[in-house]
């Protein structure tokens, strides 16, 4: 496999622009989301907002075959759900995955997703979503120079499995920059100290897919939609980040609370998506919001 690209600070500044728009678009989706909407309505919102900003939705025509501008993955759909006539109902959970590119400004990609609550989902639905959200925060806290991809995978796996959930193996995070999907492949499971050693300037996504049941995947015959083989609920969160000299910078971090998803003020409480923390720090912060790891 080709090597992970090391980016300059000038390149990171350009990547950050695409990431900022992706993050802002996700915030907008959260504000508009409600029961009765179709997944196609979300597609229209993302498509139009992106074009208004002189950017382009990277999924559209991806690999010559993805037909829409965003992925919308409802309930047992793990990822790559295609927007359409499906109406969102009270109690659904839905991942919305936004990837933005500025074709006229160097062609940098920003990739981020979150799982939202439609109305008032069940405690089990909230469980898998919150476990997934926290697992990504822990992974981000582990992302720093000298750490390995195995450390990141382990942070996710040990937490998710300790909470009775499972980690999807069939899809990974990925290097990102002027290409959508490049090396390295970022597994959401693994063992500490194994795999690629991280260096400042590496840019990649972390995007754990966490299931309430078993980790096995099945596919719909549309060629894209991945669902849980046991039809259990699945959640996903994704950020694009750069490794810095002392940790990581979450390029798709949000500057506000994600409506219909974050029922705690995560933006004020947690690393990540907000600031860099070492493991001990992350644990302390998570303990403060009632999560023990
Ligand atoms: N955004 C997805 C990811 O996180 C990829 C979607 S590809 C598409 O990597 F074609 F399905 F949109
Ligand atoms: Co991605
Ligand atoms: Co994505």
What would the pLDDT profile of 60-74 be if each residue is shown by its tens digit? 999 999 999 999 999
Residue 12: count of CB within 10 angstroms of its CB: 18
What would the pLDDT profile of 120-142 be if each residue is shown by its tens digit? 999 999 999 999 998 998 899 88
Using DSSP's 3-state secondary structure scheme, residue 178 falls into coil
SS3 per-residue string spanning 9-77: HHHHHHHHHHHHHHHHHHHHHHHHCCCCCEHHHHHHHHHHHHHHCCCEECCCCHHHCCCCCCEEEECCE
- Name the percent of the chain in helix, strand, coil, to the closest 5: 30, 25, 45
Q: How far is the CA of 271 from the centre of ligand 3 (A)?
A: 20
Band (pLDDT 50/70/90 cuts) for residue 224 is: very high
Tokens in use for 209? 């897919």
> Does the structure show a pLDDT above 80 at 292?
no
The Cα–Cα gap between 65 and 60 comes to 8
Find, among 188, 119, 140, the residue nearest to 160 by Cα: 188
- CATH number for the domain running over 9-288: 3.90.230.10
Per-residue pLDDT, 264: 60
What would the pLDDT profile of 267-278 be if each residue is shown by its tens digit? 455 545 443 345
pTM, rounded to two decimals:
0.93
Mean pLDDT (whole number) for 15-32: 97
> Does the structure show a pLDDT above 90 at 180?
yes
What are the residue ranges spanned by the domains of the chain?
9-288
Which residue, chain included where needed, has tokens 């303990």?
287
- Buried b / exposed e along 211-238 (16+ C-beta atoms within 10 A): bbbebebeeeeeebbbbbbeebbbbbbb
Q: How far is the CA of 205 from the centre of ligand 2 (A)?
A: 6
Higher pLDDT, 253 or 175: 175
Tokens in use for 181? 């999907």
The Cα–Cα gap between 183 and 165 comes to 27
Q: How far is the CA of 226 from the centre of ligand 3 (A)?
A: 14
- Mean of the per-residue pLDDT values of the chain: 91
Q: Which residue ranges have their beta carbon within 6 Å of ligand 1?
A: 59, 62, 66, 71, 80, 97, 99, 111, 207, 224, 238
Mean pLDDT (whole number) for 84-94: 98
Output the CA–CA distances (angstroms, integers) from residue 45 to 30, 37, 38, 117, 183, in the order listed: 11, 11, 11, 18, 31
Per-residue pLDDT, 141: 85
What would the pLDDT profile of 30-61 be if each residue is shown by its tens digit? 999 999 999 999 999 999 999 999 999 999 99
Per-residue pLDDT, 266: 54
Per-residue pLDDT, 25: 98
- Counts for the chain of helices (H) and strands (E), in that order: 6, 15
Relative to the alpha carbon of 67, which ligand is closest?
Answer: 1
Per-residue pLDDT, 47: 98
Higher pLDDT, 257 or 183: 183
């Amino acid at each position: 496999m080709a090597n992970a690209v090391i980016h300059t600070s000038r390149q990171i500044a350009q990547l950050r622009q695409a990431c900022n728009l992706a993050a802002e678009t996700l915030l907008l989706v959260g504000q508009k989301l409600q029961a009765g909407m179709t997944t196609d309505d979300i597609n229209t919102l993302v498509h139009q907002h992106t074009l208004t900003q002189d950017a382009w939705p990277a999924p559209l025509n991806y690999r010559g075959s993805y037909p829409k501008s965003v992925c919308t993955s409802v309930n047992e759909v793990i990822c790559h759900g295609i927007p359409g006539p499906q109406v969102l109902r009270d109690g659904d959970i839905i991942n919305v995955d936004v990837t933005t590119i500025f074709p006229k400004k160097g062609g940098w990609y920003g990739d981020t997703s979150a799982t939202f609550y439609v109305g008032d989902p069940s405690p089990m639905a909230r469980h898998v979503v919150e476990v997934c959200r926290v697992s990504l925060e822990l992974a981000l806290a582990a992302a720093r120079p000298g750490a390995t991809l195995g450390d990141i995978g382990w942070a996710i796996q040990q937490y998710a499995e300790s909470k009775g959930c499972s980690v999807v193996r069939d899809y990974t995070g990925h290097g990102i920059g002027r290409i959508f999907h490049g090396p390295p492949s970022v597994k959401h499971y693994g063992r500490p100290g194994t795999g690629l050693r991280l260096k400042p300037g590496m840019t990649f996504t972390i995007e754990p897919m966490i299931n309430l049941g078993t980790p096995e995947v099945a596919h719909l015959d549309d060629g894209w939609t991945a669902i849980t083989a046991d039809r259990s609920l699945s959640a996903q969160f994704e950020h694009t980040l750069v490794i810095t000299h002392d940790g990581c910078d979450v390029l798709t971090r949000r500057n506000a609370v994600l409506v219909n998803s974050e029922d705690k003020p995560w933006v004020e409480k947690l690393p990540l998506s907000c600031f860099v923390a070492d493991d001990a720090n992350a644990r302390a912060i998570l303990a403060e919001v009632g999560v023990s790891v």
